[in-house]
Amino acid sequence: MKDWVIGVIGGSGLYDLDGLTDRRAQKLDSPWGAPSDVLVTGEMEGVRLVFLPRHGQGHRLPPTDINARANIDVLKRAGCTDLISVSAVGSLREELPPGTFVVVDQFIDRTVARPSSFFGPGLVAHVSLADPVCPVLSSAAASACRAAGATTVEGGTYVAIEGPQFSTRAESELFRSWGCSVIGMTAMPEARLAREAELPYASVCMVTDYDCWREETAHVEVAEILATMRGNAETARRMLGELVRALPQTRPASPIDSGLDRAVVTDPAVRDPVLVAKLAGICPRLFSPDANG
């Protein structure tokens, strides 16, 4: 058994994982509310996987109503050491046609209605988000995408919008002028929260369409997106198999594993005990009842 527990957050089109052995459903409670769905755990190629459909089975949750804090919390409580996010996106670049897989390395957050931190009054922390993904995990994911047969681009900027509407043409052109590569509605605040939970995170983005900047395909239709999405989802499943097969037997330590050691600024004597208790799931080393904090 390899020394990894990979959490997989499945986006639009990826609502389940095939090929898991010792498959089980696991329902975990979170002090942050209800996660998107029950977790599905199992093994693949000697690696334990924990799968969570971001939108819930049947795609019942719109982007704004996804409880990202609860999702990250239960994945950490389930023992995940690393997270792979799989999401459907629109392309902001001519050279990124539908069917391309983009393993992004930067984000611009344009969401406005979602809690974006586990911390708050009574316990303040400031994690570094200069490099919001794990370079080692992202490189492994990109290699796995290629091995699965996907046209793969390594690196790029994901702009996250609130949704659920697609962007206007003016917005799309603005995001292009900023140098963004792809556009989606779910990677933020998910990536922020993964960093606060000390979980190395990689974001595999499956291009389903050109965003509306491209006049030849300006009017995005959900039916067209769904057709591309189905093909992308099959490739994503193969990608995960390739990824876990290629992982080394022993997971190397990552600086992200202990990122909160350098981020928490509130004196232990004045920390809010209620918030401390809620944070025990994302970092038991610092916030469990027997931690020295």
Active-site choice (3, 29, 211, 261): 211
Q: Is 22 left (phi over 0), alpha (psi -120 to 50) or beta?
A: left
Give, rounded to a whole angstrom, the gap between the first and last alpha carbons of the chain: 32
In a 3-state reduction of DSSP, which class is residue 108? strand
CB 209 within 8 A of CB 220: yes
Structural tokens at position 153: 């681009």
DSSP state of 123: B
Q: What are phi and psi of 174, to 5 degrees?
A: -60, -45
Note if 209 is an active site residue.
Answer: yes
Q: Is 117 left (phi over 0), alpha (psi -120 to 50) or beta?
A: beta
- Bridge partners of 34, per DSSP, are none
Structural tokens at position 67: 């409880």
Cis check: omega of the bond before 164, within 30 degrees of 0? yes
DSSP of 86-153: EEEEEE-STTS-TT-EEEE-EEEEE--SS---S-BTTB-B----SS-S-HHHHHHHHHHHHHTT--EE
Q: Cα(279)–Cα(281) distance, rounded to whole angstroms? A: 5
Active-site choice (16, 65, 209, 257): 209
Nearest to 4 by CA among 200, 250, 245, 203: 250
Note if 73 is an active site residue.
Answer: no
CB 5 within 8 A of CB 50: yes
Q: Which amino acid is at 210?
A: Y
Cite the active site residues: 209, 211
